[in-house]
Amino acid sequence: GLKHLVSISDLSTSEFASLVDRAAYHKKLIKSGEPVGSEISDALKGKLVTLMFSKRSTRTRVSSEGAAVYFGGHPMFLGKDDIQLGVNESLYDTTRIISSMTSCIFARVNSHSEIQQLCQHSSVPIINSLCDTYHPLQAICDILTIKETFGETKGLKLAWVGDANNVINDLAIAALKSGISVSIANPEGITMNPTILEAAKLVSEETGATLETSHDPKKACKDANIIVTDTFVSMGEEAQKQQKLKQFASFQVSSELTKLAAANWKFMHCLPRHAEEVTDEVFYGKNSIVFEEGENRLYAAIAAIEHFVLPSK
């Protein structure tokens, strides 16, 4: 049957590891400067790759379009003001029509239920390109970046100082699958989704990596190898901005916090970044790998197309 990329928890540990390995493989190929073979460069020749995005995007858009071009496909960006969806047409009708003419749909939506509806009604693979609950492409990219930086993932500790939604939901599962222990600090009043914690528990039992949650950034960052945060106000939450900034007041990643980390600590952020989340000193400092991370989004998108789209075309 048709396989979609919805969330990291849908993937087996070996399937996830192979996506990361393939991303690294294609990166090496591209960086070598040698022309890629026609098996790759013609794989989507004559086909559309559509991006149905109802929210802004820099990295996800550029990386998915770049990945489509790498395979010889034609990327087509459909922003929310471009198509009939939501104004003149239902998600069902839109999905039936778009999927009938394209090789796959990269979809950036609001609620996770929209991704589920897309998967149900699409005749081609859906690649979840961010919903309120998951961000699988970011998690593939982040584990690739961690592997490149540390060589080995097993035994590392990742600290999350931030919100409890899409990015950490997939990153926590991805890290645990890679043998990385995860310590999550969310502000008071914000807690992780129980479905994610349940899935995380099963992965922990499988790989031996541990997960803990608290409201204490210091506890999370203690001896951490990787410190990660995300925006405090996600797209779609603009109305709650003042309240959320108040909740996150003591959650800025600063040099004071990173002092608690392991000597080889690195800072990561999916971007876009705002100053309240992390000081300039940390964000632009020598321990920050945010721009290497950002670039790796391209290779994650390539691996996703190879794994989910090429077998079905």
Residues in the site for ligand NVA, rule: CB under 6 A? Answer: 130, 165-167, 230-231, 234-235, 270
Active-site entry in 104, 141, 221, 270:
270
Told to check if 225 binds ligand CP by CB under 6 A, we report: no
Rounded to 5 degrees, what angle do the CA atoms 116, 236, 216 make? 95
Interaction between residue 138 and ligand CP (CB under 6 A): yes
Q: With respect to ligand CP, which residue has the nearer C-beta, 130 or 184?
A: 130
Residue 308 CB, shortest distance to ligand CP, in Å, is 18
Q: Is 95 in the site for ligand CP (CB under 6 A)?
A: no
Pairing of strands 126-128, 157-161: unpaired
Residue 230 touches which of ligand CP, ligand NVA, none (Cβ within 5-8 Å per kind): ligand NVA
Residues 6+ apart with CB under 8 A from 246: none
In 3-state terms, what secondary structure has residue 272?
Answer: coil
- In the complex, what is the shortest distance from the CB of residue 130 to ligand CP, in angstroms, rounded to a whole number? 6
Q: Nearest approach, Cβ of 294 to ligand CP (angstroms)?
A: 7
Q: Are strands 74-79 and 48-53 parallel, antiparallel or unpaired?
A: parallel
* C-beta of 141 vs 185, nearer to ligand CP: 141
Backbone angles phi, psi at 187, to 5 degrees: -65, 160
Contacts (CB under 6 A) with ligand CP, residues 38-67: 57-60
Min dist CB 250 to ligand NVA, Å, is 19
Mode of pairing for the β-strands spanning 48-53 and 105-108: parallel
**What does the angle CA 168 – CA 169 – CA 174 come to, to the nearest 5 degrees?**
85
Q: Is 270 a catalytic site residue?
A: yes
The option from ligand CP, ligand NVA, none interacting with 58 (CB < 5 to 8 A, set by class) reads: ligand CP
d(CA 33, CA 307): 23
User: Left if phi > 0, otherwise alpha if psi is -120 to 50, otherwise beta: which for 252?
Assistant: beta
C-alpha angle 153-59-246 in degrees, rounded to nearest 5: 80
Binding mask 247-286 for ligand CP (x = CB under 6 A): -----------------------xxx--------------
By C-beta, is 181 or 229 nearer to ligand CP? 229
Q: How far out from the chain centre does Cα 128 lie?
A: 9
> For residue 238, what is the DSSP state?
G
Catalytic residue positions, numbered? 270
Query: Interface with ligand CP by CB under 6 A: which residues?
Result: 57-60, 130, 138, 270-272
